[in-house]
Amino acid sequence: MLFIKKSTIVLFIACTFSFAQNSDSLIITSKNLRVSNLKEGKSHYLVYFKNYKDAPVSEMQIWNLEIRKENYQGKKAITIYQNWDYKDTIVHTAKSISSAENFRPLYHESWWKMRGKKVFDLATNKVLIDDIEITGTENDPQKKSVYDSFITAKDYFLNWHLDLEVFSMLPYKKNVTFLVPFYEFGYDIPRNIAYTVDGEDIIIYNGKKIKCWLLKHEEQGNRETFWISKKTKEVLKMEQIINDKMYRYKYKLQD
């Protein structure tokens, strides 16, 4: 769920090998992802930028998330709704349905204020852009690229738009690099993206000291650190450094 990933995705393979050389590697599959860690309910994240470390906060958003355990086409599923607020308007919504067994995506629908609506239905292999179905005979190069990307995503993968939820399901231990088969719907193809458990930390959250795993991801021009509660498995904080000068933060708001 990170704004920089589309423009830098070609660098991830090299990054993956770099991480793997310094720690034990574990490819995330349907067998080792701990889907039971994911809990139903609502959560909210404060997301903002800083032009440098000590700069004033800018571009502040509130991300509203809801996780529901539902049935989809006769099978148990997990539906995640997202609603992003910026200033006085909604800038993004998403509805993502995944298998309750292994979290493999079944359906993904997203709308962006400046980009419109896209729907990806894995049961029917259909792609809709602004409610119009896109096929292999599409003449628009950009729309055809979206379609081609989607139909090549065949093996087990996870929805990159649900990275915060996926991070709560990883089998944490010290000095391990997870190779997560993420896919951003409509862009490129699924790839194993490296995230390394780089130690532990204690942060103050809701007035209490919380023990956290530190999960790090790095590529050219982008460094991310996530603080994941050892107890609840939730992402409580994220710090992203872009081109060594711009900062982006996510903080889970108190319930």
The rounded distance, in Å, linking the Cα atoms of 181 and 155 is 9
The rounded distance, in Å, linking the Cα atoms of 102 and 194 is 20
pTM: 0.88
The rounded distance, in Å, linking the Cα atoms of 58 and 165 is 25
Categorize the per-residue pLDDT at 14 as very low, low, confident or very high, splitting at 50, 70 and 90: very low
pLDDT the model gives residue 126:
95
The rounded distance, in Å, linking the Cα atoms of 211 and 214 is 10
The rounded distance, in Å, linking the Cα atoms of 1 and 54 is 24
Average pLDDT for 184-201: 93
pLDDT the model gives residue 23:
64
> CA torsion, points 216, 220, 222, 227, in degrees to nearest 10?
0
How would you classify residue 212: left for phi > 0, otherwise alpha for psi between -120 and 50, otherwise beta? Answer: beta
User: Cβ–Cβ contacts within 10 Å for residue 83, how many?
Assistant: 15
pLDDT tens per residue across span 143-174: 999 999 999 888 899 999 999 999 999 999 99
CA angle 149, 170, 77 (to 5 degrees): 65
pLDDT the model gives residue 10:
39
Whether residue 87 is predicted with pLDDT greater than 50 in this model: the reply is yes
pLDDT the model gives residue 15:
45
Average pLDDT for 50-65: 92
Average pLDDT for 176-186: 96
Q: Count Cα atoms within 13 angstroms, Cβ side, for 171.
A: 12
State both tokens at 120: 């990806």
pLDDT the model gives residue 254:
86
H or E, element range at 66: strand 58-72
User: Cβ–Cβ contacts within 10 Å for residue 161, how many?
Assistant: 22
pLDDT the model gives residue 18:
44
pLDDT the model gives residue 102:
97
Whether residue 194 is predicted with pLDDT greater than 50 in this model: the reply is yes
DSSP state of 147: H
Average pLDDT, the chain: 90
Cβ atoms of 212 and 226 within 8 Å: the answer is no
Average pLDDT for 41-48: 97
Whether residue 2 is predicted with pLDDT greater than 50 in this model: the reply is no
The rounded distance, in Å, linking the Cα atoms of 253 and 238 is 12
Categorize the per-residue pLDDT at 22 as very low, low, confident or very high, splitting at 50, 70 and 90: low
Average pLDDT for 35-45: 96
